[in-house]
Structure 1
Amino acid sequence: MVVSGNDRERIMNGFQIDNELLRQWRRLALIHFPTLCQPRSAHSHKGTFGTLGIVGGAEGMAGSITLAGMAALHCGCGKVWLGFHQPALPIPLLFQQPEIMLSTANRLLQRSDITAWVIGCGLGTETSALTKLTECLQQKSVVPMLLDADALNLVAQQPALLSSRQNQQDIILTPHLGEAARLLHCTIGEIQNNRYQAVRCLAEKYGAWVVLKGHQSLIASPNGQVQQNETGNAGLATAGSGDVLAGIIGSLLAQRIPPQQAVYAGVWLHGAAADILAASEIGPIGLCAGEIAAAVRWLRNRLTEPV
């Protein structure tokens, strides 16, 4: 959604957006995800806004969970841990976003203070990755969990993995077309030809929330209700965009926002951030996934202002 020069009334932190569009977005948010519109108390502390654990980042794929972690911080999570599925920590990342805490996946999975999990970004699909996913699903402390990327590919190979979860209705699956095809054991063409049926089938088969990513992403609740997202543009068709979405939704879950708001709000924020960037002449062509997080932060703060 590109806003013409004469309509660019709101300029802040380099982002430009039409004031009327911003008011429309806030009215929509107040109706559908009111928790996002609540200003923060002056008595808040970092523990107030949860701790997200992100597991993935096998060798050569450390960027995936780094993007997810940066998005989670910018979306308001109090603390973010990255658990790398490799023997040693990727040292260069220590200086990229020092607010993020780093660990190995093995150590992170032993923590008891995590309020939501994201698993799968760059995880890999070898036996050791399957072990990490199984450990995460079988934890005694049941908190919301988002499965993305390689975690979805592992579930496609072993659908019974999710049956070990005590409550599947706080599981969120975020497949793109290829991952959805693997989860349903069909072709990408069959998914694309009937996206509504596909997302319903995924929700029914796995008893989970499902986000079928793509142009006007579809969100299905565990009971099969489907909603189409209206924000976003072609700028999101870039490497790492899905990792950012996982971090945004995971951040909202960690902040103890109920899944029925967190999933819809996360997809909507992700798309709206891309619209803000395009209106600010950052994309859609050449938009980088790492640029989305700052626009999400900007929008979350604007949503707390009066209509």
Structure 2
Amino acid sequence: MTATASSPEGVTPSGEDQAEFDFSSYLAKTRELVEQSLDAALGPERPESLRESMRYSLLAGGKRLRPILCLAACELVGGDASLAMPTAVALEMIHTMSLIHDDLPAMDNDDLRRGRPTNHKVYGDAMAILAGDALLSRAFEMVAVRSEGVPPERLLKVVAELSLVSGAPGLVGGQVVDLESEGREVDLETLEYIHLHKTAALLRACVVTGALIGGADASQVDAMRTYANGIGLAFQIVDDILDVTASSDVLGKTAGKDLIADKTTYPKLLGLEPSRARALELVAQAKAVLEPWKDKAQPLLALADYVASRDR
């Protein structure tokens, strides 16, 4: 078995109840497997300058929440998580592409990401754009070429999900509305549109693709979509809260940048405490959707709580 398809065997306990589930151990072990697979996905190749820029951002650390969600969803429906690892890697590549492009001067114009200079500050705007483009195309290669053992009809559905999330119906559309909303007062509906597309859409793709690879039925796929919408919005609300309550050193990115850009955020629109309450409500709703599969849902339930309680 290659590093790209490393199996999280022994990571998810079977037959354990929620109280006995060791989430910290699960997170550490699964992150390690994801990191190994990400490293293996960008081996020696030319041009070296492009590869270096891609690896700089892809291997910069981070929570690895998206690939872990993919693997956990695959296991929930009874699938072999090793078969979902190439797709999990692809999702992190798409996420990294969106961060590289979002940080560009023409977008959010940020100098700090994951505790170090952003890609364009190190390699220049042109190389950052090209590195993001290369990561996006490599993501589809991971699914279409490197997903050995997955039935083709499932991979076709995965490719469709990734195409939607990385384009106008997902990340790109959300970013456009976000940029157009700077300096304007927007209502809650518009704010949620932005974050359902910029944040929740990719989280939704993570659990849906993982479930599809695992052989999920329609009810399980629908539950995954609902679950991800809930934790996706909660994730963004917490992000907005941290932007005004945490320091740049803690966040690993520039704090207060939404205020500087005059963006509408949940705390600005609702206030801090109502925003916290809304995040907790969304997480509770997301967890409730998994009730029919609670015996196998410990990782996804714990990940939902992690989204609401994170401090960076």
Q: Is the TM-score greater than 0.5? A: no
Compare the two structures and name the one with the higher helix fraction. 2
Question: What is the TM-score when the length of structure 2 is the normalising length?
Answer: 0.33
Q: Under a length normalisation based on structure 1, what TM-score does the superposition of the two structures give?
A: 0.33
Higher strand fraction (1 or 2):
1
